[in-house]
Structure 1
Amino acid sequence: MEHERILVVDDDEGLLHLLRMRLSALGFSVTPCTNGRDALAAARQETFDIAVTDLRLRGEDGLELAEELLRIQPGLPVIILTAHGSIPNAVEAMQRGAFGYLTKPFDDKELKATLDKALIQLRMTREIQRLKSLVKELYGLENVIARSPAMQRLFQQVAQIADSDATILLTGETGTGKEVLARVLHANSRRAKGPFVALNCAAVSEGLFESELFGHIRGAFTSALAAKPGLFQSANGGTLFLDEIAEMSLPMQVKLLRAVQEREVREVGAGYATKVDVRIITATNKDLAECVKAGTFRHDLYYRISVVPLAIPPLRERKNDIPLLAQHFLTQSVRRSNKDVRGFTAAAMHRLMVYPWPGNVRELENVIEKAVVMSRQDMIVPDLLPSVGPSADIGLKPLTEAKEEFERSYLRNVLQMTGGNISRAAQFAGRYRADFYKMLKKYGLHPSMLKERVDYDSGGIPHAEEEVKDV
């Protein structure tokens, strides 16, 4: 209990001094107060782990003080000190938020036992809050690493449906992050306080599937020495995520269909069904509609699990996310390997951008981890990354050079479109005539070099199809 801070309030200075000595001996840092006003002032200035206050304070109500302390520091365990005749009041205090009470006189063992219980509750509360914050940090929509338009559209859909109980089908190639998105949906739903239970359907043998999903009673089969709940029961109040749903056999699909429809399961060996409260999210890297046509997936189950279908785009279709993801994985790998790698050279980042990523985000993560481990300098270089051929390693040109090439090509095209007419070319480019001349001089261009005539209408503007072709 070392370093735990405790606020003690009692108008009996003798008892207050005795409590201070006892609590200090137990390892607490004690802040004593003789009235509620000073106690509230102390609570506003520092955070306490426990508060102990007398029920009867001179001119003040200990119950009201306890309530005020809880308003200032929600979750603070408040212990009420009371005489034998005031136990009903102490019970009322607990109903109004106090942790517990001690009747006077009390011995050190009783005091320590009560404080220990209060600390256990406090630590559990703080751990729950820490885990909630961690989940929100990991899976809050605002923190998911994706800035591409495709992923932003996907997250708009997620934000709309996360808090519903709609059954969701996630589709996408291997490595696109289907389980991560399932966790995002769970963490942003009203079921976030409940369990998130995941099962890879391809990893469970046919003989164990029913028992794994629905559980079994004792004696249901030879090795069933004890009853075991299934994943549906384990996910009660939360979310059940079934990955690789297309790998489920047709007989098991029939049994899953009933569970999805009725939200009830029958344990193996049981003669009755049990209701379950779960939200179901499924995922696959296959085209389930094609599986239905091929007869390997039941059409009625397909319609049941695809109430809201969400497609996760492959990494090659969300190139804007690659630099963000690469830097994120780099930071994680550097932390794990304890190496001093700061980032990527321009050529290395270019190689990451042009690589097709057949394994998607999972492949990118593995590639970055390998590069960090193999790196001998503080920057990741192209040689540490996968290549798609010599053409992919042609580096991106500096911005100034690329801009100049574009401007030179643009001026040539505009002059060709206008037959070398400077006034029309300047008007088309949205520049003053003098400024347009300066640009031509900068790039060594002259109208006489580019007098390729085109047809114009009476307003001096190219015909639509010619303008499109040239531009």
Structure 2
Amino acid sequence: MKEQRLAGLYQDQKLIDIRSLVEQKKYGQALAELREEENRKRFPDDSFEQGEFYYISALVYYHTARYKDALDRGLKAYRIFKPTSANKTLGDIQYILGAINQALGDFDEAENQLRDGVASYRRVDDDQGIADCFNKLANLAFVKSDFPQASNYLRRALLHVEKTPDQRMKAGILGNLGRIYALIGEWEKATENLKLNLAANEKFGDEINLARSWLALGYVQILQRETGSAKNSLQNAYDLIISNNLPRELAIYHEYFGELCLVEGNYKLAEEQYQKALEIGEKIAPDGDVINQVCRLMAELKLATGHYSSAAKYAGRSLEVSQQLGDRLEEGTAYRILACVYDHDLESTRAKKQLSQALKVFQKTKNDYELAKTYLAAGKLKCLDRLTALKFLSKAEDIFSELGTKPYLAATYMTLAELLFAENEISQGILFLGEAEKLVVSLDESQLKTNLEQLKRRAELQQVQNGATGNSDYSLSNLLTLNPKMRQILELAAKFKDADIAVFLEGETGTGKDLLAKAIHYSSKRRDKKFIAVNCSAIPEALLENQLFGYAKGAYTGAEKDKPGLIEVADGGTFYLDEIADAPLSIQVKLLRVLETKELVRLGDNEPRKVDVRFIASTNRDLNQALEEGKIRQDLYYRLCGVRLSLPPLRERKEDIPLLLDHFLKESGPLAENLTEVELAELYSKLQSYDWPGNVRELENEIKRSVVLAGIKERNLLELLSEKLDGFKNGSTSASLNEKVTEFEKNLILQALRATNWVKTRAAKILNIPESTLRHKIETYHLNPESV
């Protein structure tokens, strides 16, 4: 009887028409039709027609973010169909009830409804319905930060959707996988999946899911600091959101756009966007997932701008809602923010407790990206001792390096440098600043660049305060070499050290040109006068002219008083022109005049000024080629080239590596003094097997940096350096390409295995290959934990 009445239900033309509007996502029009039907009250109580009417009402109210009305209609529909055998319709109702309860923040009830929905659909072999429920269950697990469970549900959804012709849903599942990859820091996979999802939604003309795809892609681009692309993606999403009247998606748009503003340092606009998102969130679901996310973002903004009490308030609200929702990701992030707030307020015990809870959450959920961000935050806490902070930063470096997250890796290096500067370990801190600079130069990240410049200025100031630019470390007699060519160079430099003729140094980057220039000065009769160095490639032409020659009052707008140039300041001493081949030709003409006449004229002045300066110049270019190309004026070259010294690269003086190693280890302090004679001999051999394209500077940086990391990670220096060098061994120059590729692959696999303590699943993930392939490679190369 009931089945017969149900069969007749779908013959009601008005309900069929409203269903059609829902399928076309014309929710506003559908809502108007439903209200008209509700006023007419033409369906008998508890009839299937009334149940169908309630179900369609629940759908429309859900899609227009009227969740309480949607829940009321959905439960009425469920009560009517529950006693029947209409399993397909019952499954549809259970699915929408699951979605409504999730939006309202009742995750347990949402999960129960969706699991029951799977059971209802199974009774009628409805693969489409089963896939829908698993996809929604994956979304629930995703919100709870249970990413393994979310991935499991998505795989189960794919199994069922493959049995249907529904390519749209397959595209949707790919999009959801992309969102999971985004949050765990696998941004390339995230982008790949989201772009597939985007293309499919464009193909099908699905504007609502297309808006969601653009939002998700924009978010990934924000995380990758691709700000231009992110703006385009978010604008595309916004246009679709407005044209389709999607309030929840509009809240998410404001949330993401606020994050973009925060990345760009526009705090005021970020706060405005977050407020708009909060207003929408409070209307559609006061205890929903929009609220906890935006409150957390607002807390991060307040923390960044130094409003700690406001940060605590928003973080507390986010934590409360997150715990109600079971959203572990947002819960852990709220703990992290509160740890920073309590640390600022000098509440050490509470700060450490919040930090511990944040770490537990991210370790349990296996979210490496957020875990690394928490390690980075921990490295900045005042309540932790220096060694603990360094260990946390070392862990952050390991994870960010593995994930390839350059902005956070650069921030980690800068924090390490800051800690070392605080302990007056300037040279070691500068090494980490160098690592940060390599990353920051390729990023569109103004705040990071500003922070980097501030730290560099701090390092320079501390060096001056410590007298680090004195002459005690620089003299020709202190330069270390066993190499015959280097000895000849030093002997020649010693012979001409007191002469007034200019010296020209050439050699690859890192061969020691700067050090030799200082040694010549501090070994000469000019040692008590100034040694001033200028890198000609690092300063714009207009500024370089001002720096070198100075200017007279009124020479240009802002020139309020006379200022001597650096050449004048160096009077009686030595002036070092580093990278002279990069100096503009107009500057070279003026330098030539100084060399010829021993006079200079300030910018905006007519009066020549006598200067007594000894010039040393250098270039890392091929000197003959630079002359042929006109990079260096020949007349200037002849003036500068009183003595020409060509420094050999380190690969041509490998006999010096043991001497240099001993010297750098002594400079690095007591942490480096624990190597045995056997270990030293092994280290000499390993260092000499590498060609060091960055020359002595690269060798120094690697040794000093490894000494610091060995202390932080409590590992043997030999082991740490060996791991680094194993990946760079050149092997025999006569080896075939195949042999070199094989050796490279073998070393790469060994590094991944060692980094994961031989956990093959994790190593395979790092290498981005199937675990079965990794096991085959291990067997092929006969690798084991003792492999060298």
Q: TM-score, normalised by structure 2?
A: 0.32
Higher helix share goes to which structure?
2
Structure 2 counterpart of 1:386, one-letter code: L
- Which residues of 2 match residues 153-164 of structure 1 at below 5 A? 153-164=488-499
1:216/1:269 contact within 8 Å kept: yes
User: How far did 1:342 drift?
Assistant: 3.2
User: How far did 1:297 drift?
Assistant: 2.1
1:289 to 606, 616, 624: 624
Structure 1 counterpart of 2:655, one-letter code: N
2:698 to 345, 349, 363: 363
User: How far did 1:145 drift?
Assistant: 1.8
2:531/2:575 contact within 8 Å kept: yes
Structure with the bigger RCO (C-alpha within 8 Å, sep 6+) is 1
| Residues 201 and 132 of structure 1, relative CA distance in 2, 3 Å threshold | closer
Deviation string, structure 1 residues 313-339 (Cα, Å, up to 9, x no partner): 11111111101111111222235xx56
| Residues 369 and 131 of structure 1, relative CA distance in 2, 3 Å threshold | closer
Match of 1:282, SS?
strand
1:386 to 705, 725, 732: 725
| Equivalent in the alignment of 1:121 | none
2:666/2:672 contact within 8 Å kept: no
Deviation string, structure 1 residues 211-251 (Cα, Å, up to 9, x no partner): 11111011111021121110110100000001000001111
2:654/2:688 contact within 8 Å kept: yes
User: How far did 1:296 drift?
Assistant: 2.5
| Residues 133 and 276 of structure 1, relative CA distance in 2, 3 Å threshold | closer
- Which residues of 2 match residues 7-406 of structure 1 at below 5 A? 135=471, 137-335=472-670, 338=671, 341-342=674-675, 344-375=679-710, 376-377=714-715, 379-381=717-719, 382-387=721-726, 388-389=728-729, 391=731
| Residues 308 and 248 of structure 1, relative CA distance in 2, 3 Å threshold | same
User: How far did 1:260 drift?
Assistant: 1.2
Provide the rounded CA distance (Å) in 1 between the counterparts of 2:537 and 2:476. Answer: 29
Match of 2:602, SS?
coil
Match of 2:489, SS?
helix
1:191/1:238 contact within 8 Å kept: yes
Provide the rounded CA distance (Å) in 1 between the counterparts of 2:667 and 2:703. Answer: 10
Q: TM-score, normalised by structure 1?
A: 0.52
User: How far did 1:131 drift?
Assistant: 8.1
Identity of aligned residues (%): 42
| Residues 288 and 345 of structure 1, relative CA distance in 2, 3 Å threshold | closer
Deviation string, structure 1 residues 73-132 (Cα, Å, up to 9, x no partner): xxxxxxxxxxxxxxxxxxxxxxxxxxxxxxxxxxxxxxxxxxxxxxxxxxxxxxxxx989
Mind listing any 5+ residue stretches in structure 2 that lack a counterpart? 1-465, 733-788
Match of 1:199, SS?
strand
| Residues 271 and 355 of structure 1, relative CA distance in 2, 3 Å threshold | same
Match of 2:616, SS?
strand
- Which residues of 2 match residues 425-464 of structure 1 at below 5 A? none
Mind listing any 5+ residue stretches in structure 1 that lack a counterpart? 1-129, 393-471
1:341/1:377 contact within 8 Å kept: no
Structure 1 counterpart of 2:635, one-letter code: D
1:240/1:280 contact within 8 Å kept: yes
User: How far did 1:385 drift?
Assistant: 3.3
Match of 1:277, SS?
coil
| Equivalent in the alignment of 1:448 | none
Higher strand share goes to which structure?
1
Aligned length: 260
1:357/1:363 contact within 8 Å kept: yes
1:215/1:229 contact within 8 Å kept: yes
Match of 2:493, SS?
helix
| Residues 380 and 132 of structure 1, relative CA distance in 2, 3 Å threshold | closer
Structure 1 counterpart of 2:579, one-letter code: E
1:169/1:305 contact within 8 Å kept: yes
Match of 1:139, SS?
coil
Deviation string, structure 1 residues 436-459 (Cα, Å, up to 9, x no partner): xxxxxxxxxxxxxxxxxxxxxxxx
User: How far did 1:378 drift?
Assistant: 5.1
Structure 2 counterpart of 1:239, one-letter code: T
2:530/2:571 contact within 8 Å kept: yes
User: How far did 1:289 drift?
Assistant: 2.3
1:197/1:241 contact within 8 Å kept: yes
User: How far did 1:134 drift?
Assistant: 6.5
Structure 1 counterpart of 2:519, one-letter code: V
Provide the rounded CA distance (Å) in 1 between the counterparts of 2:691 and 2:729. Answer: 12
Provide the rounded CA distance (Å) in 2 between the counterparts of 1:391 and 1:132. Answer: 40
Structure 1 counterpart of 2:627, one-letter code: V
User: How far did 1:133 drift?
Assistant: 13
User: How far did 1:347 drift?
Assistant: 2.9
Match of 2:533, SS?
strand
Match of 1:380, SS?
helix
1:352/1:385 contact within 8 Å kept: no
Provide the rounded CA distance (Å) in 2 between the counterparts of 1:390 and 1:171. Answer: 26
Match of 1:274, SS?
strand
User: How far did 1:371 drift?
Assistant: 1.9
Match of 1:386, SS?
helix
Provide the rounded CA distance (Å) in 2 between the counterparts of 1:340 and 1:148. Answer: 26
1:201/1:248 contact within 8 Å kept: yes
Structure 2 counterpart of 1:199, one-letter code: V
| Residues 244 and 342 of structure 1, relative CA distance in 2, 3 Å threshold | same
Match of 1:297, SS?
coil
1:244/1:284 contact within 8 Å kept: yes
1:371/1:380 contact within 8 Å kept: no
User: How far did 1:163 drift?
Assistant: 1.1
Structure 2 counterpart of 1:332, one-letter code: E
Structure 1 counterpart of 2:589, one-letter code: V
Match of 2:618, SS?
strand
